[in-house]
Amino acid sequence: MKPTVSVILPAYNCPAYIGEAVESMLAQTFEDFELIVIDDGSTDETPEVVRRYRDPRIQFVSQANVGLAATLNRGIAMARGELIARQDQDDRSLPERLAKQVAFMATHPDHALVGTWAEIWREQAPTGRIHTHPADDADLKYLLLLNNPFVHSSVMLRRAAIQQVGGYTTDPARQPPEDYELWSRIARQFAVANLPEVLHVYREVRGSMSRSGPSPFLDRLVTICAENIGWWAGVPADAAPVVNLAALEHHAAHRIEGNPDFRVMRIIFRHAAARAAGHDVRRFEREADRHVSALAARWRDVRFGRGWRRPLRRAAHRARQLIG
């Protein structure tokens, strides 16, 4: 019989943690799943660690190294379950994770993606920090205009929805961040959510890719962000106001085109926010206004230094004295 859930766990040179990842799946209270572990060309003992586990729900395959996105697409093609759950090699899922996500998907047939909150560890130690992204579809679609509000390793998706939008991109110019890119396309056609409960442990491991400073990752992040804003606003993604919005959001000064026109940027972002949210339009338009105002202040800080704020603060202080 086909399992309800197919868990996809790509592996590459991670012998220190992959055993914990596998065991966290085998300890799930929801047992109707298959665990597809794909070793993507490891050059260490990672495959041997996985082969120690004899649970019949585990499918283990090895391949030459092709990268994360292509490995995930292979796992999706192998999957027999209607629901796809992600699990990273250096993270852990808490025992109730699959059960609660399956229950959510059963009662929310319009949703194609559900993530969870995640406790953040640094190597082997908890940090006390938690990824607490919003839970509601409207809030998440607004946030997706700008960045990724999902912990990749915590998500569960409908296999049919992944296939409908074309799976993870393998275009080198668009990944990583392959997760943000895929969620963006899914959210254009389906509802999305997070369970507001810690059901996952996300591990920060030394050597992970930095998301700051000029880098190919940063450029791709700006490109996907601009595509999201442009798609929801009905404006070309390469239009200067759209690119400038995305570049300022991600501190990518090298991507700013000309002198940003914040009046046009405000109009575009308000429209994108209203369309993405779908309801409570006024709230999201106000949020968009506040966000563009913050980006404008950031731009002036970069261009003129923080000194331009002092006259405004002095004027505000005088006004308070007069009122008081």
Q: What is the mean pLDDT of the chain?
A: 92
Task: Give SS3 for 195.
Answer: strand
Q: Which two tokens stand for residue 12?
A: 């590459």
Name residue, tokens 């595509």. Answer: 227
pLDDT digits (tens, 9 = 90+) for 262-299: 999 999 999 999 999 988 899 999 999 999 999 999 89
Instruction: Identify whether the C-beta of residue 154 lies closer than 8 Å to the C-beta of residue 76.
Output: no
Q: Which two tokens stand for residue 210?
A: 């930095």
> So what's the pLDDT on residue 33?
98
Q: Which residues pair with 61 in a beta bridge?
A: 38
pLDDT mean over 116-138? 95
pTM here is 0.90
pLDDT digits (tens, 9 = 90+) for 299-321: 988 777 655 445 545 555 555 55
> Would the pLDDT of 209 be above 50?
no
At how many degrees (to 10) do helices 262-277 and 240-249 cross? 80
Instruction: Identify whether the C-beta of residue 175 lies closer than 8 Å to the C-beta of residue 169.
Output: yes
- Cα–Cα distance for residue pair 12/189, rounded to 1 Å: 32
- Cα–Cα distance for residue pair 254/120, rounded to 1 Å: 31
Instruction: Identify whether the C-beta of residue 9 lies closer than 8 Å to the C-beta of residue 35.
Output: yes
Query: What is the b/e burial string over 170-191, where b = at least 16 CB atoms within 10 angstroms of the residue's CB?
Result: beeebbbbbbbbbbbbbbeebb
pLDDT digits (tens, 9 = 90+) for 24-65: 999 999 999 999 999 999 999 999 999 999 999 999 999 999
CA distances from 184 to 30, 77, 83, 269 (A): 29, 21, 19, 16
> So what's the pLDDT on residue 215?
59
Name residue, tokens 């586990």. Answer: 53
Task: Give SS3 for 66.
Answer: coil
Neighbour tally for 198: CB within 10 Å: 16
> So what's the pLDDT on residue 312?
44
Based on its alpha-carbon atoms, the radius of gyration of the chain, rounded to whole angstroms, reads: 22
More confident site: 104 or 1: 104
Burial class (CB in 10 A: 0-12, 13-18, 19+), 206: exposed
CA distances from 159 to 77, 81, 152, 229 (A): 9, 8, 16, 26
- Cα–Cα distance for residue pair 121/117, rounded to 1 Å: 13
pLDDT digits (tens, 9 = 90+) for 89-123: 999 999 999 999 999 999 999 999 999 999 999 98
Continuous H helices in the chain: 18-26, 46-51, 68-78, 97-107, 137-144, 159-165, 178-187, 216-233, 240-249, 262-277, 281-304, 309-323
pLDDT mean over 183-209? 90
Residues near 111 by beta carbon (within 8 Å), at least 6 away in sequence: 104, 105, 137, 190, 191, 192, 193
Task: Give SS3 for 258.
Answer: coil
